[in-house]
Structure 1
Amino acid sequence: MKKKYQKYDRIYKENAVKLSYEKNSIKESAEELGIRSSLICRWRKEYEKFGAGSFLGSGYDRIHPDNKKIFDLQKKSKESELRYEILKKASFCLHQGNLVIYNFIKENEDKYSILKMCEILEVGYGRYHRWKKNGISKKKQYIFLLKKDIVTIFFRFKRHYGRNKITDELHKLGYKICKEQVTIYMRKLGLKRVARRKFKITTNSCHNNCIAPNLLNREFKVNAPSKVWVSDITYIQTSRGFLYLTIIMDLYDRKIIGWSLSFSLFTRTTTLPAFEMASANREASKGLLFHSDRGVQYANKIFVAKLDSYKCIRSMSRKGSSIDNAVAESFFNTLKRELIHRKNTLISQKIMKEEIAEFIENWYNRKRIHSALNFKTIEQFNAANGL
């Protein structure tokens, strides 16, 4: 049978210490109280060291009242350092949901107090232990992984993808989810695609040059490459004036096959070099329909002669109808939304040229998925069609 030890409260211990000072010896006071002399010796040492801060029991800090302020400041400082240390180590998981936080706490149980980590990271102590004991439900695991993949897709495509394209990417990963659900999760995660901005029309159609009828007639679906090319020009503001971007797109796969950046709007710096690049990258077959707006760069005799030399058929939008060249306009909308309008300050012409080249050749023509291509990249679309 285990021996039972008697417990003495704080008041009893203080009175015993005071009595020991009044008697001739510790032994005499111990005999009067009916306790061991060693207890009184131990109590006296504690009382001499901590005074009124003695005999507070387990879980309490023993400190002399004269040093309490310094002790409290030191304690707060240590708690602040500990809080900073935990938050610094756990910063990567603070916005990734409780599951990631729970895993962090579990991995650091031998370093920090579980209660303290739960308090600092604002998760329930009881919930953590239930998770540790029972794990997480399959539904919660699914939602956690879904949210993680939505965030990954959103930032991988530079915040340009809305719910439709993100939904399509999730379908490729095996998720069965509708666009409305993606909208809800994006709203909860605070994900919002880069907003579109309007841009000015730069077409100069006030001339008496060679105008062609609208043969394309908004038939933007084409069943083979080099049947229809569309072209347009836009302006881009830099820190030192404007740049003018001319593009030529093949309607079949929406690839930018020719483009030119210039400081002026002359034909020799806009449409001619863009067409030369396009014809070098993709054969301009006989009977190719070349569609553009009524800008003077497309209607002057020099450019018309160039098209005639390749046996191209000319087509132009009706006056004041940008929808007739909607696909080319849509590209510029994408370019400005995904590259130009994201910048808070104007950049130099040199840097802008480099970034536009990177955007067209590496992003738009290779990596970006296109809704018109059934949410495939241009390379995936052409591979699927044997090109």
Structure 2
Amino acid sequence: MDGKRYPKAGCTDNGTKIKILKANQHRYAVAALCRCLGISRHYAYYQCKTTKRKSIAHYADKILTIFKRSYQSYGSRRIRFALQQASISVSRRYIARVMKSLSLVSKYTIKRYRGYQTASNSSVTANHLQRKFDVGSKQQIIVADLTYIRVNHCWNYLCVLLNLSNRQIAGYSVGQHKTADLVMCALSQIKQPLSSLHLFYSDRGKEFDNQLLDKCFNTFNIQRSLSKKGCPYDNAVAKATFKSIKTEFVKGEKFMTTEE
């Protein structure tokens, strides 16, 4: 039809047709060869691709090492990124096949928990941050939040203060009660002068609604910022930090005391 001469399909075996296609794909278009041989392009491309697939054992040791080094938390995405850092280029599908063959399952799960409604801070303080988490190094903004950890069949609470400029934990405290004293204890651990802080951002939990905190912020001229009620996305950086902490270091561990 297009003036070219194509090889004739004188066989009915698909395996032989694929061999003919591979032998002639450097001379003719794959679409034209598929029409001549009477096979679909999807089947032809798949068969050509499967012959080039790496064996499971090719990078299995490296993938296993990265997985163990990540406290069994890395999935195919993060393992692929780690391999790219080592100048090894493989697909996520290959990594997933290797992980499946080695029975490697990331700690991260898709479980969801429904929380219960509690009293919240009804202050008229606005959300000055507005989810602008990339603040650079000029502004010193502290993001605060609390989470719970099971200790000897009881809940203990972890308060973390995160510095948005470098995404490092500036202070933290652990206690058996979810109170403003827990927040003050974490605030006292910040090594830099409190007068250098520009903004203190948190959700509307009652533990952040306290006269002692307000007096501290007024003394050091720190602006307050509160998220919208019932909107965890406004405090996404803190939630992501807790996800990493609880998945990689808390999950599977049994703590008997608060000190542990």
Could you tell me the TM-score, scaled by structure 1's length?
0.49
Q: For 1:261, which of 171, 174, 192 is the aligned residue?
A: 174
Structure whose CA Rg is larger:
1
- Take 1:226 and 1:202, find their aligned partners in 2: how far apart are those partners? 35
Match of 2:61 among 138, 142, 148: 148
Is 1:181 the equivalent of 2:94?
Answer: yes
Between the aligned residues of both structures, percent identity stands at 26
Q: For residues 251 and 203 of structure 1, what CA distance do their matches in structure 2 show? A: 28
Q: What residue number does 2:209 align with? A: 299
User: Which residue is equivalent to 1:336?
Assistant: 246
**Does the 8 Å CA contact 1:240/1:349 hold for their aligned counterparts?**
no
RMSD, matched Cα: 2.7
Counterpart mapping for 1:125-204 below 5 A: 144=57, 146-196=59-109, 197-199=111-113, 201=115, 204=118
Cα deviation, 1:309-354, whole Å, max 9, x if unaligned, reads 22211111101111110111122222222233324xx53124xx43
Q: Give distance in 2, aligned partners of 1:325 and 1:140.
A: 43
Tell me which amino acid in the other structure corresponds to 2:213.
F
Partner of 2:230: 320
Structure in which a larger fraction of residues adopt helix: 1
Match of 1:71 in 2: none
Which structure carries more strand by proportion? 2
CA contact (8 A) 2:180 2:209 kept: no
Matched, 1:206 2:120: yes
Per-residue CA distance 1:67-96 (angstroms, 9 max, x = gap): xxxxxxxxxxxxxxxxxxxxxxxxxxxxxx
Q: CA–CA distance in 1 between the matches of 2:125 and 2:119?
A: 12
Q: Report the CA distance shift for 1:322/1:341 in structure 2 as closer, same or farther (over 3 A).
A: same
Counterparts in 2 of 1:232 and 1:288: CA distance versus 1, 3 Å: same
Mapped to 1, the partners of 2:129 and 2:224 lie a distance apart of 9
Instruction: List alignment gaps of at least 5 residues for structure 2.
Output: 1-51
Give the AA of the match of 2:247. Answer: R
Displacement of 1:202 in angstroms is 7.6
Deviation at 1:157, TM superposition (A): 1.1
Tell me the CA shift for residue 187 of structure 1. Answer: 2.3
2:247 and 2:130 mapped to 1: Cα distance? 27
Partner of 1:348: 256
| 1:234-274 CA distance string (max 9 Å, x none) | 12122152211100001222211100101112212x11011
Note closer, same or farther for the CA distance 1:184–1:144 as it changes in structure 2 (3 Å cut). closer
Query: What is the CA–CA distance in structure 2 between the aligned matches of 1:199 and 1:167, rounded to whole Å?
Result: 30
Work out which of the residue numbers 234, 237, 244 in structure 1 matches 2:157. 244
Measure, in 2, the Cα distance between the counterparts of 1:172 and 1:157. 15
Q: 1:316 to 1:141 in 2, by over 3 A?
A: closer
Map 1:24-43 onto structure 2 (within 5 A): none
User: Cα gap change, 1:247/1:193 in structure 2, threshold over 3 Å: closer, same or farther?
Assistant: same
State the alpha-carbon separation in 2 of the partners of residues 200 and 251 from structure 1.
28
Q: For 1:293-313, what per-residue CA distance to the aligned partner results, in whole angstroms no more than 9, with x for missing partners? A: 011221222112212222211
- The TM-score, its normalising length taken from structure 2, stands at 0.71
**Consecutive unaligned residues in structure 1, runs of 5 or more:** 1-138, 355-387
Give distance in 1, aligned partners of 2:92 and 2:223. Answer: 41
Count, aligned residues: 208
